[in-house]
C-alpha cells in the first residue's frame, strides 16, 4: 500500500506564479491544504498578451513569498513535505527557469526528492484529483497555446489523438478580441460580447469538419473574422456582438464534429471502461459556456461522463503540479536528478507525429 504523501507544488510556466501543498492518503484520496496563485494580468494587459521578460521578472519577485504563504496556509513546514514538484515545461523558458531552479534549491537544501513535472500532465491528471476518475479517459485541452485531444491511459502513458495544425483555440479567441478592439484577456471578452449578438449573421468556416483525422485548425476561422470585420468597417457595437456570436457558433460546430468523432473512436476502442467512459476538459477556454454546453451535449448523446474541474484548476495552478508529482510518486516513478533542465516544448506523447504548428508557441508548446 502506498503511504500518506505530501508535496509542495510550484508553477511558473506562463503568467501565473503559484504554489500549493497537496496530500494523498493511502487510499489515493487527495486533500488540497493550500492553493496560492498570483496573477500577472495587470502587468500584461497593456500589451494585449504575455510579455516573457515581464513574466519572468514577476516570478522572481513573487515566488519565494508565495511558497512561504502556501506552507503557512497548509500549517506545515518544509520538514513535513515529502517531495517538491515544479513545472519543468512546456512554457516560457524564463518562467520555467525561475520555478524549476527554486524547486531544485529547496530540494537540495531540504534533502527532499524533486519531480520535474510536465505542465500538460498536470492538466491530464487533475480529474483524478477532483473526481477520482479511473483510467483510461479522454482529455480535451483547450487554452491559449494548446488544442489537443489526448487519450489518458495512465500516469506517464498518453496518446495524442488530435492537435491543432496552426493556431490554438485560445489564441484564436485572443486574436479575434484584439481585432475587434476588445480588452485582454480575449476569451472572456468575446464571450461577453457574444451574449448580445446574432450567431447566424455571419457564416464562418468550420475548419476540418468531416475529416477522419482528429486534428484542429483555427487559422482560417480567424482570417474569416478579419475579412468580415474589414468588409463592414467601421464597426458598431452590434456588429462586434454579431461577429463574436457567429465566431463562437463556428467554434462550437467545429468542436462538435472533432470531439464527436473522438468519442466514437474511444467507445470502439474501450467498450467496457470501469466506471464508464469520460471526457475531461481543461485549459482556460474550458470556462466558455458555449464550449461547455457543446461538450456536455455531446457527452450526453454518446453516453459519456463530462468532467470539467473547477475553473481555478483548469487554468495554470500549482495544485495540479503537486498532484501530478503525487501520482508519479505513488506509481513508483523515480524522482528527477537535480541537473534536470526546463523544456519550452515538451509534448505528452513523444511518439506523436510533429505537425505544422504543433508546439508553435513557445509559451505553451
**pLDDT tens for residues 94-147?**
999 999 999 999 999 999 999 999 999 999 999 999 999 999 999 999 987 889
Range list for CATH 3.30.420.40 in the chain? 5-128+312-330, 135-311
Q: Is 3.40.50.1820 the CATH number for 135-311?
A: no
- pLDDT confidence tier of residue 47, bands split at 50, 70 and 90: low
**pLDDT tens for residues 188-226?**
999 999 999 999 999 999 999 999 999 999 999 999 999
Residue 147's H or E segment, with its range, is strand 147-154
In whole angstroms, give the CA distance from residue 219 to residue 161. 20
> Does the pTM exceed 0.85?
yes
**Grid cell in block for residue 238:** 452590434
138 contact partners, CB below 8 Å, separation of at least 6? 149, 150, 151, 152, 161, 262, 263, 266, 277, 278, 279, 280
* Among the four given CATH numbers 1.10.1200.30, 3.40.50.1970, 3.30.420.40, 1.10.260.40, the one describing domain 5-128+312-330: 3.30.420.40
Amino acid at each position: 500500500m502506498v503511504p500518506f504523501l505530501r508535496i509542495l507544488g510550484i508553477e511558473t510556466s506562463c503568467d501565473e506564479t503559484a504554489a500549493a501543498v497537496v496530500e494523498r492518503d493511502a487510499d489515493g484520496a487527495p486533500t488540497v491544504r493550500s492553493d496560492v496563485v498570483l496573477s500577472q494580468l495587470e502587468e500584461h494587459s497593456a500589451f494585449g498578451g504575455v510579455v516573457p521578460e515581464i513574466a519572468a521578472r514577476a516570478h522572481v519577485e513573487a515566488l519565494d513569498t508565495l511558497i512561504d504563504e502556501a506552507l503557512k496556509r497548509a500549517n506545515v513546514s518544509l520538514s513535513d513535505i515529502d517531495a517538491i514538484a515544479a513545472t519543468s515545461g512546456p512554457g516560457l523558458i524564463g518562467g520555467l527557469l525561475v520555478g524549476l531552479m527554486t524547486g531544485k534549491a529547496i530540494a537540495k537544501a531540504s534533502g527532499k526528492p524533486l519531480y520535474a513535472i510536465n505542465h500538460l500532465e498536470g492538466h491530464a491528471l487533475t480529474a483524478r484529483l477532483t473526481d477520482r476518475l479511473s483510467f483510461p479517459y479522454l482529455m480535451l485541452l483547450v487554452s491559449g497555446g494548446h488544442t489537443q485531444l489526448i487519450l489518458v491511459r495512465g500516469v506517464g502513458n498518453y496518446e495524442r489523438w488530435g492537435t491543432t495544425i496552426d493556431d490554438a483555440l485560445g489564441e484564436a479567441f485572443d486574436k479575434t478580441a484584439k481585432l475587434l478592439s476588445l480588452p485582454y484577456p480575449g476569451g472572456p471578452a468575446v464571450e461577453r460580447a457574444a451574449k448580445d449578438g446574432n450567431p447566424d449573421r455571419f457564416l464562418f468556416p468550420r475548419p476540418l469538419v468531416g475529416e477522419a483525422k482528429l486534428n484542429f485548425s483555427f487559422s482560417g476561422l480567424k482570417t474569416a473574422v478579419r475579412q468580415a470585420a474589414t468588409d463592414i468597417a467601421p464597426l458598431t457595437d452590434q456588429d462586434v456582438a454579431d461577429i463574436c456570436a457567429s465566431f463562437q457558433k463556428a467554434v462550437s460546430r467545429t468542436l462538435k464534429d472533432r470531439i464527436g468523432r473522438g468519442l466514437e473512436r474511444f467507445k470502439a476502442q474501450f467498450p467496457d471502461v470501469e466506471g464508464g467512459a469520460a471526457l475531461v476538459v481543461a485549459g482556460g477556454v474550458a470556462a466558455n459556456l458555449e464550449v461547455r454546453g457543446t461538450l456536455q451535449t455531446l457527452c450526453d448523446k454518446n453516453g459519456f461522463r463530462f468532467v470539467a474541474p473547477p475553473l481555478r484548476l483548469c487554468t495554470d495552478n500549482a495544485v495540479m503540479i503537486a498532484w501530478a508529482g503525487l501520482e508519479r510518486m505513488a506509481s513508483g516513478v523515480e524522482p528527477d536528478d537535480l541537473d534536470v533542465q526546463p523544456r519550452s516544448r515538451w509534448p505528452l506523447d513523444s511518439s506523436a507525429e510533429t505537425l505544422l504548428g504543433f508546439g508553435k508557441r513557445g509559451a505553451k508548446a
